[in-house]
Structure 1
């Protein structure tokens, strides 16, 4: 029997072994992480553009009109004579602007 019969043909390319893993990472980035970053940037623009008189909806479903804008919070009028203070990050939708 030939002693070279069971011998390896040589080392496989190490990059070729990692290629499927790299492809999976790239696919996950474009399917999961990139859209999330895009939504986060859109929300930051929405929060930065808030101004008095905007009709908004909070993440808890409260509808109101912005009475005052502060650094981290906004004052919402949710009913006649009822004001609440809400963190800007919890404003999810602007329904209309004055």
Structure 2
């Protein structure tokens, strides 16, 4: 039969906690931190959208921004078709509009 002495379990508790601390650190640096950085970049990209920018939506639709509001974006797909999307549906800015064309 095994008998524990007083104070003998203190090293055992740290021995159990260290792997969890190490796993959390690995998850933080490999998963959580890069995801937060990517989200910041996406938010900055969505805030930089302006009229005349050529964009691509998450669904793969290409078009030019003709109107903006806080939550929505109106995109001209061809000469006659305009579509309204949530700002979050924009995947990428393909090219930005020249400064003179924003008016």
The TM-score by the shorter chain falls in which range?
0.7 to 0.9
Q: Are 2:9 and 1:11 equivalent residues in the alignment?
A: yes
Q: Are 2:43 and 1:44 equivalent residues in the alignment?
A: yes
TM-score, normalising length: structure 1: 0.88
More helix by share: 2
CA distance in structure 1 between the partners assigned to 2:9 and 2:66 by the alignment: 70
- Matching of residues 15-94 of structure 1 within 5 Å: 15-94=14-93
Give the RMSD, CA atoms, in angstroms: 1.5
Q: CA deviation at 1:90?
A: 1.0
SS at match of 1:51: coil
CA distance in structure 1 between the partners assigned to 2:80 and 2:33 by the alignment: 43
SS at match of 1:79: coil
SS at match of 2:23: helix
1:51-94 CA distance string (max 9 Å, x none): 00000000000000000111100000001110000100111110
Aligned residue pairs, count:
94
Q: Point out the structure with max Rg over C-alpha.
A: 1
More strand by share: 1
SS at match of 1:50: coil
CA distance in structure 2 between the partners assigned to 1:48 and 1:12 by the alignment: 52
Stretches of structure 1 lacking an aligned partner (at least 5 in a row): 1-5
TM-score, normalising length: structure 2: 0.84
